[in-house]
Amino acid sequence: MEKLKIFILEDDPFYGKIIEYHLSLNPDLEIKLFQTATAFFRDLHENPDIVTLDYTLPDMSGEAVLKKIKKTHPHLPVIVISAQENLKTAIQLLKDGAYDYLTKDEDTKDRIWNIIRNIRENVDLRETITNLQVQISQKFNLSTTVIGNSPVMKKVYELAQRAISSNITLSITGETGTGKEVVAKAIHYNSKIKNKPFVSVNIAAIPNELIESELFGHEKAHSLVLLLGE
């Protein structure tokens, strides 16, 4: 397991050292401490996994730092730490993309660690999902899925390749057992939307009157009755 790289941006040297020491007790974490936004952005190219951000800095506001981070690293979790409890500020920072907002007190360092642990679990989960997506793509690689050298199979392969590079709705037809779903999966998992879900629906098992609702959703209609008199 690779170490999680954490950047601490804190202008109070004493408080910053406390957080740094507390987190460095975990050997799976790599910590780097900064006291100014200028020094922080100078090293941001090192791509930390998590940032803890003091809201009050000598050279830039915490809000400005957060917005600048999100422009270049939109998915980087930023934990904002403030010395004051201001609900309006906290809400705005969360809207701007902060992962969490904490106020400085004696329990802050423990709460930071709990948040980092949750982020670590999410990172591991994303890595697992990515690995599974790669395995699925390899399993449904078009060159190994569509097998055969006959003119018909070559035509299927050619059409599938064209479908992969396009953004059109497809209709794949054929007799039962000829591999329609296999071809559909091969196209899906090699296309630009391969990270989106592939949903297989057995239309034959759905009553005719429910097919539209099953595929496109259902919204209850409201009846309007007009009584017209003479």
CATH of the domain at 66: 3.40.50.2300
Same domain, yes or no: 81 and 100: yes
Q: Is the pLDDT of residue 230 over 50?
A: no
The Cα-based distances of 178 to 137, 156, 228 in angstroms read: 21, 12, 59
Same domain, yes or no: 119 and 23: yes
The per-residue pLDDT for range 3-41, each reduced to its tens digit, is 889 999 999 999 999 999 999 999 989 999 999 999 999
Same domain, yes or no: 27 and 81: yes
Same domain, yes or no: 61 and 85: yes
Of 109, 133, 157, which residue is a domain's last? 133
Q: What is the DSSP string of the chain?
A: -PPEEEEEE-S-HHHHHHHHHHHHTSTTEEEEEESSHHHHHHSGGG--SEEEEES--SSS-HHHHHHHHHHH-TT--EEEEESS--HHHHHHHHHTT-SEEEE-STTHHHHHHHHHHHHHHHHHHHHHHHHHHHHHHHHT-HHHHS---SHHHHHHHHHHHHHHTS---------TTS-HHHHHHHHHTTSTTTTSPP----GGGS-GGGHHHHHH--------------
> Is residue 223 one of the residues assigned to a domain?
no
Of 133, 167, 191, which residue is a domain's last? 133
In this structure, the dihedral spanned by the alpha carbons of residues 23, 27, 30 and 32, taken in order and rounded to 10 degrees, is 40
> Is residue 230 one of the residues assigned to a domain?
no
pLDDT at site 20: 93
CATH of the domain at 171: 3.40.50.300
Same domain, yes or no: 169 and 127: no
Same domain, yes or no: 16 and 96: yes
What is the chain's mean pLDDT, rounded? 84
The per-residue pLDDT for range 50-84, each reduced to its tens digit, is 999 999 899 999 999 999 999 999 999 999 998 87
Same domain, yes or no: 123 and 177: no
12: Cβ–Cβ under 8 A, 6 or more apart, which residues?
54
Count up the domains in the chain and report the number: 2
Average pLDDT for residues 194-201, to the nearest whole number?
Answer: 81
Of 91, 114, 133, which residue is a domain's last? 133
> Is residue 225 one of the residues assigned to a domain?
no
User: What range defines the domain where residue 102 resides?
Assistant: 4-133
Same domain, yes or no: 11 and 125: yes
